[in-house]
Amino acid sequence: MATIIDINEEKALEVKDFEFTYASADAPSIKKLNMPIAKNSITALIGPSGCGKTTLLRSFNRIHDLYPGNKYEGEILFKDRNILTAQEDLINLRIQIGMIFQKPTAFPMSIYDNVAYGLRLQGIKNKTELNDRVEKALKSAAIWKEVKDRLKHDANGLSGGQQQRLCIARAIAVEPEVLLFDEPTSALDPISTAGIEELIVELKERVSIIIVTHNMQQAARVSDYTGFMYLGELIELGRTEELFVTPKEKLTEEYITGKFG
C-alpha cells in the first residue's frame, strides 16, 4: 500500500524490512519498514506524534542500545553491511553517523572543549591538529565569528541558537558521513531556526542528512526527499516537491492538508 519511489542516486543508507520494539511494549513501534536514504541529500521524516519517526532516526546510530531490552529486526545497510548485528562496533558507527538533538546539548565545558570532545575521544591529542579541526568545524557551522574570541568560555553562556550551532560544529568535527537531526529547531526562535535550516542545506555537500521534523514547512524548505510516517509505517516516500504538491497516498494528502495531525 505504501508508495516508495526508487532512488537512482547512490544510497547512504538502506532500511530493509525493519522492525523495532521497545523493551516495555508488546507490539513493534515500527513495522516492516523499507526505505532508501539518498547520499549527499536531505531526507525529511514527517508524521504525527507517535508515528515512529524519531524511533526510526534513533535506530540509525543505535542510540536505543543505551536502554536495555529494545529489539531490532530486519536490516539497515550502511556501507554494505547490516548495522543491526550484535558484532557492530557502536562507537565506530556513532562516529560515522552523528546526531543533533531536539534541544541544544552543550556539555559542561568550554566552547573549544565541546567541539574538540569527539576528536579527543578518538585519541587526537596534537594541539595544532585539534586547533585546525575545531576552527574548521566552527566555521562550517557558521558560528566561528561569534565565538572565536571566547573559545575558553563556558559553552552554556551561549544563546540557544548558538548552542545548537555549536552542537552541529561538534558533530561535524569528527567528519561523519551521515548526520541525524532530531527536530533540531523545536526549542529555537524563528531567526535561529532560519540560521540552522540554512546551515543544514549547506552541509549536504559533505554529509547525508536525515531530519525529523514536526514542521511541514521546514521539511518543504530544506529537504530533497520526504518520508511520511504513520502508526509505525512509512506511508509514502517521494521527492519533496512532488510529495507536497501531488501526494500519491490519501493519508499523506490528509496529513499535509491538515485534516489530522
Question: Per rule CB under 8 A, is residue 257 in the interface with another protein?
Answer: no
Question: Per rule CB under 8 A, is residue 170 in the interface with another protein?
Answer: yes
- The residue type of 87 is Q
Enumerate residues 6+ apart whose C-beta is below 8 A from 124. Answer: 130, 133
Stretch that binds another protein, among 47-55, 166-174, 208-216, 237-245 (CB under 8 A): 166-174
Smallest distance, another protein to C-beta of residue 99, A = 4
Per the CB < 8 A criterion, the answer to whether 47 and 183 are in contact is: no
Which of 148, 156, 151, 96 shows the shortest CA–CA distance to 122?
96
Geometric angle at alpha carbon 21, from 19 and 27, rounded to 5°: 95
CA gap 226, 177 in Å, rounded = 20
Torsion, Cα of 133, 137, 142, 146 (10° steps): -50
Looking at the Cβ atoms of 108 and 258, the one nearer to another protein is 108
| Three-state secondary-structure class, residue 77 | strand
Within 87-106, which residues bind another protein (CB under 8 A)?
91-92, 94-95, 98-99, 101-103, 105
Question: Per rule CB under 8 A, is residue 154 in the interface with another protein?
Answer: yes
| Three-state secondary-structure class, residue 71 | strand
Looking at the Cβ atoms of 163 and 226, the one nearer to another protein is 163
Looking at the Cβ atoms of 174 and 235, the one nearer to another protein is 174
Within 107-146, which residues bind another protein (CB under 8 A)?
107-109, 117-118, 121-122
- Among positions 3, 40, 82, 156, the unique one binding another protein when judged by CB under 8 A: 156
Residues forming the site for another protein (CB under 8 A): 61, 63, 66, 68, 91-92, 94-95, 98-99, 101-103, 105, 107-109, 117-118, 121-122, 154, 156, 167, 170-171, 174
